[in-house]
């Protein structure tokens, strides 16, 4: 009987560890914080970082990783790798990311790093909110790391092109998910972009994968959420928003928490879709 209980406990623990592989609590982070291979990254806006940040965190502004046009699309992998290396981040580091609690900027950085082939990327669960609640050290002093080399190993399966999205919009084996707010999806919100959404896309706002404490919802809650929306493991899932910044946290929920095998982010997003001639053909 004792052996059976032990086996059940070990299995349960294994499930918890699998769920939490890319999410790390404040308590768990404090255990590894002093490891020189661990890099803490604030994905908050530079102005917020200058006011106060978690002690030891370096700052990376996601906007520094984009081309001018199409708006908010990624620079070349070589250019991003150079920026990361100059910041002291290699693809072999354990990289822990946080933001103010929205999950937008940390999620975006998470997806970028996973796309570039970083081996160990985690989000601090609860972000700055959880850190302050735990009354852990903050500072105004910027942190710096010695420059290194980030070796790119592209995960091409993590990104979707506009051609792939157009094909997916007419495919029963694919599902396109617009992670914007309902009024953006429906076209009732004032915007510089054309109103509406990519044809056949469903709407599931990114905020729904987190709870009120800025923590990722449980595996059971997430699975119920996606299943109810028709987002199942047997389909190719393509995520986007206005610029796909908000898609990153949903990518993490699907791939890390729920082990969905085929999830992509459409990096060009609505900015590229609305401006492209491809979609008119």
In a domain, 230, yes or no: yes
In a domain, 247, yes or no: yes
In a domain, 30, yes or no: yes
In a domain, 3, yes or no: no
Residues 135 and 236 in one domain: no
% of the chain beyond a pLDDT of 70: 91
Residues 171 and 218 in one domain: yes
pLDDT(167) > 80: yes
**Structural domain harbouring 215:** 156-280
In a domain, 245, yes or no: yes
Q: pLDDT-derived band of residue 4, with 50, 70 and 90 as boundaries? A: very low
Tell me what pLDDT residue 57 has.
98
Residues 240 and 169 in one domain: yes
Tell me what pLDDT residue 137 has.
95
191 or 36, greater pLDDT: 36
- Where a domain ends, among 139, 171, 194? 139
Tell me what pLDDT residue 278 has.
60
In a domain, 129, yes or no: yes
| Inter-residue long-range contacts of 242-245, CB under 8 Å, 24+ positions, other chains counted | 242/180, 242/184, 242/191, 242/193, 242/269, 242/270, 242/271, 243/71, 243/72, 243/269, 243/270, 243/271, 244/72, 244/108, 244/268, 244/269, 245/62, 245/72, 245/104, 245/105, 245/107, 245/108
Residues 208 and 257 in one domain: yes
Tell me what pLDDT residue 6 has.
44
Give the least confident one: 118-127, 162-171, 189-198.
Answer: 189-198
Residues 229 and 180 in one domain: yes
pLDDT, average across residues 206-230: 97
How far apart, in Å, are the Cα atoms of 265 and each of 73, 142, 195, 250, 279? Answer: 11, 32, 21, 10, 18
Return d(Cα 75, Cα 111) in angstroms, integer: 14
Tell me what pLDDT residue 281 has.
52
How much of the chain is helix, strand and coil, in % rounded to 5? 40, 15, 45
Residues 116 and 91 in one domain: yes
Count of the separate structural domains present in the chain: 2
Residues 64 and 32 in one domain: yes
Q: Strand ranges (DSSP E) for 78-234?
A: 94-98, 120-124, 138-139, 159-160, 174-178, 202-203
Q: pLDDT-derived band of residue 190, with 50, 70 and 90 as boundaries? A: confident
pLDDT(177) > 50: yes
pLDDT, average across residues 181-200: 89
């Amino acid at each position: 009987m004792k052996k059976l209980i032990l086996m059940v406990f070990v299995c349960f623990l294994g499930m918890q560890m699998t769920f939490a592989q890319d999410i790390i609590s404040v308590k768990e982070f404090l255990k590894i914080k002093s490891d020189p291979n661990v890099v803490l990254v604030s994905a908050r806006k530079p102005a917020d970082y200058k006011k106060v940040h978690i002690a030891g965190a370096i700052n990376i502004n996601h906007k520094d990783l984009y081309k001018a046009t199409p708006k908010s699309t990624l620079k070349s992998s070589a250019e991003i790798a150079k920026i990361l290396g100059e910041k002291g981040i290699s693809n072999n580091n354990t990289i822990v990311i946080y933001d103010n609690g929205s999950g937008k900027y940390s999620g975006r950085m998470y997806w970028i790093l996973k796309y570039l082939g970083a081996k160990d990327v985690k989000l601090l669960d609860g972000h700055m909110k959880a850190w302050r609640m735990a009354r852990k050290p903050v500072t105004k002093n910027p942190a710096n790391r010695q420059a290194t080399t980030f070796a790119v190993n592209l995960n091409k399966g993590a990104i979707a092109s506009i051609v792939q999205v157009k094909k997916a919009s007419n495919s029963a084996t694919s599902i396109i998910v617009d992670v914007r707010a309902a009024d953006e999806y429906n076209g009732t919100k004032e915007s510089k972009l054309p109103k509406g959404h990519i044809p056949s896309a469903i709407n599931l706002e990114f905020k729904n994968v987190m709870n009120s404490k800025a923590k990722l919802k449980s595996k059971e809650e997430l699975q119920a959420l996606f299943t109810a929306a028709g987002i199942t493991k047997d389909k190719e899932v393509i995520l986007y928003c206005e610029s796909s910044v908000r898609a990153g946290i949903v990518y993490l929920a699907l791939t890390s928490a729920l082990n969905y095998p085929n999830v992509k982010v459409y990096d060009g997003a609505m900015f590229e879709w609305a401006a492209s001639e491809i979609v008119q053909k």
